[in-house]
Amino acid sequence: MIILTNNPDVMKTMTERDVRFVDGTYRDVLIKARDLVHQGHQLLSHPLMGSLKPNETPYRTVALSDSGGPLDTDSLLLIENAIETFDKFAKVTRPDRGVNTPQEMLADFRLIDLSLIQSMEVNE
Amino acid sequence: MKLELGIIKISDIQFAAESKVEGSTLYVNKDEVKALILEDETFASCELDIARPGESVRIAPVKDVIEPRVKVSGEGGVFPGWMAKVKTVGSGRTNVLKGAAVVTTGKIVGFQEGIIDMCGEGAQYTPFSQLNNLVLCLEPVEGTLQHAYEKAVRLAGLKTATYLGKLAKDIEAEEIRTYETPSITEGIKLYPDLPRVGYVLMLQSQGLLHDTYVYGVDAKQSLTTMIYPTETMDGAIISGNCVSACDKNTTYHHLNNPVIEDLYARHGKDLNFVGVIITNENVYLADKERSSDWSAKLCEYLGLDGAIISQEGFGNPDTDLIMNCKKIEAKGVKTVIITDEYAGQDGASQSLADADIAANACVTGGNANTVIHLPKMDKVIGHIEYVDKIAGGWSGSLQEDGSIIAELQVITGATNEMGFNKFSAR
């Protein structure tokens, strides 16, 4: 499993996994995930996981399959929809995402993101 | 399975020396409730307050709302797996303190939203402004982790509701509402010509602060299964969900599920309400596939003609909703989905993060991006200072005069996806 993330806490905690750090925004993680989908990797986690809105949390983690195969159209649709939804939120509401956010709140955002991606482990 | 609800109407809550229900007033001994809550060493402090309909009071951030109930007869106890053993509930008689609620508040994470205004514009958007609320403000000891804090607040709410419910155990209710679900074979014999309708109830189960529990079991670890509708009225399902205020299903919603209420009202008349299928909303796509396969399989197995599917949350759960809808329709079962919308402040954008042609019958709980103006309240219970950091707020949301300009999504229960609200569209 490949884990794409811009959340340093995922990087630090999930050391047993193939975590690939994206030095960028929530959207950058989605774009990188789409690149991998085009290379034949399948999405394993939902790119919009969590009830935190895409214009609220600056952190995003996405899990994809290790090996590439033929293009998985379900994954492609899902990631395209996620990018479209992200852009909709960025446009219409609160453009100051992650800016001026207190450190304590950023830590909470990182914790939720980490906890959600770890939730697979209960059913693994 | 047959359950009688004894409705005991509560029109006021007062603090008093003795906790009791007298007439339509619920009297609460503050110290007793505090002592009960502070048994849990997670808490440094616990403050109790009362918020009544029409008062100039704002409660935030609301974690859960719980209706006090007590088992009078029949097996088990209210909130099985938490406040009672796991014995199956849903039969016999349960007394309900209708008009009263326990509201829990605590800043578990900084961005947590959930406002209940007891008067003004905001009060129109939340059903909880119509209740007499006993509000618990719960502060943890320093160093408490978010997981532990969430659990402690969840339990404090259930404990308090159970304590209040017990005050009504020996009261003979004037109004009795009866709900009964026959076995599958009895149902077929009783209503051979009526369409068989089921309810697929989707439970939020993504992880920390996004969880729901069934008889004490974390829903993310459960396969899709079946439950008698009356079990939900005894607290078989409770909320552990702290985010997405407008479209989360609080424990109060689970106890008073309007889809179940309405299907019972028509049961035996123009439809046969067969039962409830509960399914989860996990983060991993394999879980989504498995759970929605099982929803569809159970609909087919039960020989349903139609199914109503309700959702909880936004984004990721939209995918579960559409998967359920598509797969159930593919089994030849007609579906109606209940959701809400994030269609932008002007309402012009695509509403859901996922869609399919099979989802051609949809009920909406309203557009969560709608901008509202909440006037200043004389009193705030809880914490309001982060309103510009939450999902429905933005920089400058909290005005200098104490009023708030924000999106509807900040209001607890405003666009509820069980339809427990007044918004919709045609």
Residues B14-61: tens digit of each pLDDT: 999 999 999 999 999 999 999 999 999 999 999 999 999 999 999 999
Is the Cβ pair B109, A44 closer than 8 Å?
no
Residue B122 near residue B155, CB atoms below 8 Å: no
The pLDDT value given to residue A120? 72
User: Could you say which residues from 143 to 202 on chain B have a Cβ atom under 8 Å away from some Cβ of chain A?
Assistant: 146-147
Could you give the C-alpha distances from B311 to A52, B28, B197, B363, B413, in angstroms and in order? 16, 36, 17, 11, 13
Residues in chain B: 426
Residues 35-54 of A with CB under 8 A from B: 43-46, 48-54
Position B280 in a domain: yes
B287 in a domain, yes or no? yes
Query: Cα separation of B180 and B288, whole Å?
Result: 32
From residue B373, give the alpha-carbon distance in Å to each of A102, B59, B123, B312, B416. Answer: 25, 16, 11, 25, 20
Per CB-CB distance under 8 Å, the chain A contacts of B204 are 51
| Number of A–B residue contacts, CB under 8 Å | 137
Say if residue B103's pLDDT is above 90: yes
Q: Which of A9, A116, A123 is nearest to A63 (CA)?
A: A116
Domain for residue B421, yes or no? no
Instruction: Dig out the tokens for A37 from the structure.
Output: 């989908």
Residue B137 annotated as catalytic: no
Flag whether B78 is in a domain: yes
Q: Hey, what are B239's tokens? A: 């909320």
- Token look-up 């439809």 returns B271
Let me know: does B383 contact B114? Beta carbons within 8 Å: no
Q: How many domains does chain B have?
A: 1
Q: Does residue B301 sit at the A interface (CB-CB below 8 Å)?
A: no
Residue A95 confidence (pLDDT)? 44
Respond yes or no on whether the N-terminal peptide bond of residue B61 is cis (omega within 30° of 0).
Answer: yes
- B9 forms beta bridges with B98
Give the C-alpha distances (Å, rounded to integers) separating B310 from A17, A104, B37, B259: 35, 34, 33, 9
B422 falls within a domain: no
Neighbouring C-beta atoms of residue B52, cutoff 10 Å: 16
> Residue B341 has what DSSP assignment?
E
User: Judging by DSSP bridges, how do beta strands B272-281 and B225-227 pair with one another?
Assistant: antiparallel
Q: What is the enclosing helix (H) or strand (E) of A32? A: helix A26-38
Burial of B13 (0-12, 13-18, 19+ CB in 10 A): buried
What average pLDDT does the structure give for chain B?
Answer: 94
Locate A18 and state its tokens. 């193939």
Walk along chain A (124 residues) and give the pLDDT tens digit of each residue. 999 999 999 999 999 999 999 999 999 999 999 999 999 999 999 999 988 888 788 999 999 999 878 999 999 999 999 999 898 887 755 545 556 678 888 899 999 999 999 987 766 6
Q: Which of B46, B137, B242, B362 is catalytic?
A: B242
Residue B390 reports pLDDT greater than 80: no
Q: Closest by alpha carbon to B201, among B222, B177, B180, B225?
A: B225
The verdict on B349 touching A (C-beta cutoff 8 Å) is: yes
Domain that holds residue B100: 2-410
Q: pLDDT band for position B267 (50/70/90)?
A: very high
Give a yes or no: residue B418 inside a domain. Answer: no
The pLDDT of residue A124 is 60
Sign of CA dihedral B388, B394, B400, B402: negative
Q: Which candidate in B290, B316, B412 is best for mutational testing of the A interface (most A CBs within 10 A)?
A: B316
Judged by average pLDDT, the poorest of A96-100, B100-104, B247-251, B341-345 is A96-100
- Per the structure, the complete domain to which residue A11 belongs is given by 2-123
Q: What is the mean pLDDT of residues B132-141?
A: 97
Looking at the predicted structure, is the pLDDT value of residue B119 above 60? Answer: yes
Residue B214 exposure: Cα atoms within 13 Å on the Cβ side:
21
Burial of B174 (C-beta count, 10 Å sphere; 0-12/13-18/19+): exposed
Helical residues (DSSP H) of B83-223, grouped into ranges = 146-166, 184-190
Read off the pLDDT of each residue in B53-80 and give the average, rounded to a whole number: 97
Task: Give tens-digit pLDDT for B273-309.
Answer: 999 999 999 999 999 999 999 999 999 999 999 999 9
- Contact status of A33 with chain B (Cβ, < 8 Å): no
For chain A, say whether B347 makes contact (Cβ under 8 Å): no
Instruction: Give the minimum alpha-carbon distance from B244 to chain A in angstroms, rounded to a whole number.
Output: 6
Q: How many domains does chain A have?
A: 1
